Structure 1
Amino acid sequence: MNWKKLGYWASTGLLAFFLLANAAMKLSGAEPLVESMKALGYPTYLLTILGSWYLAGAIALLAPGFAKVKEWAYAGITFAFTGAFASHVLAGEPIGTAVPAVAALGLAAASYLLLPARTEASEASTSATQPVSAAA
């Protein structure tokens, strides 16, 4: 296994674990999350929606194949966690409350950039555009 595949699976595994843990907490209606949603001014039913999306995103990332579904999952993760970051910061909360969102964005970026289908396509297009040297 090369370092790109190792990096992909490490970042994707951590991201999926983070999404699954958050989905479980959101879907269970954990009291700290309910209080946080109220403090941010969001309705608490949003926890059920977000929890469902996080669960679906984790499944999409771990399922083999489904390249388009994975692309949508990465987009959704980006929207969700940039929104979480902005919500905490714009609500005037300490920057530390936004750290998990930034960490998740970092994992998502690493996972996406190391996605085997992307890196293989990128390497193939790079080698296809390399000039062919004349054989003497």
Structure 2
Amino acid sequence: MRKYAYWISTGLLAFLYVASATFYITQGDMVRQLLGNLGFPGYLVPVLIIVKLLGVAAILSRASVALSDLAYAGMFYHLLLALSAHLHAADYSGAPPAAIGLVVLAVSFLTQNAGRKKPSPYAPPRPA
């Protein structure tokens, strides 16, 4: 069951980040304006595109467990910052994707050792 939870949550997390990066690529001007409304500079858009795609690649490939765990940490801080920025700016329609992303991220991280051969020292151990 934990293996299914891992792969479903990781697939949803990857979809969320790839869809977001695609939206940033196709609607760059609008995203710069939206980020400006939240108090962030527009020059972050290309950086966020690259980091989002690299994070997904690190988690899915798991070429390095340390890099995968770093990607989880980066996604956690990104989603937490996104949620707080939307709430602070009273943009409540933007908050649910970030909140859902945090839940999906937590499930993926906490079940990763059940779903992958290379265990992370930071996630709960595999069930016996």
TM-score normalised by the chain length of structure 2: 0.84
Is the 8 Å Cα contact of residues 27 and 52 (structure 1) preserved in structure 2? no
> Equivalent of 1:105, from 99, 102, 105?
102
| 1:38 CA displacement | 1.9
Q: Based on CA coordinates, which of the two structures has the bigger radius of gyration?
A: 1
Q: In structure 1, what is the equivalent of residue 4 of structure 2?
A: 6
CA–CA distance in structure 2, aligned partners of residues 96 and 42 of structure 1: 18
Q: Out of 19, 23, 26, which is 2:24 matched to?
A: 26
Unaligned 5+ segments in structure 2 are 114-118
The question of whether the paired residues in 1 share the 8 Å contact of 2:69 and 2:120 is answered with no
Letter in 1 for 2:110: L
TM-align CA RMSD: 2.2
* Fraction of identical pairs, as percent: 30
Pair 123,25 (structure 1): closer, same or farther in 2 beyond 3 Å: closer
Q: CA deviation at 1:32?
A: 3.5
Over residues 77-127 of structure 1, what are the superposed CA-to-partner deviations in whole Å (9 max), with x where a residue is unaligned?
01101001111111222x232111111111110000000225997247xx7
Partner secondary structure for residue 115 of structure 1: helix
- Stretches of 4+ aligned residues off by more than 3 angstroms: 27-32, 118-121
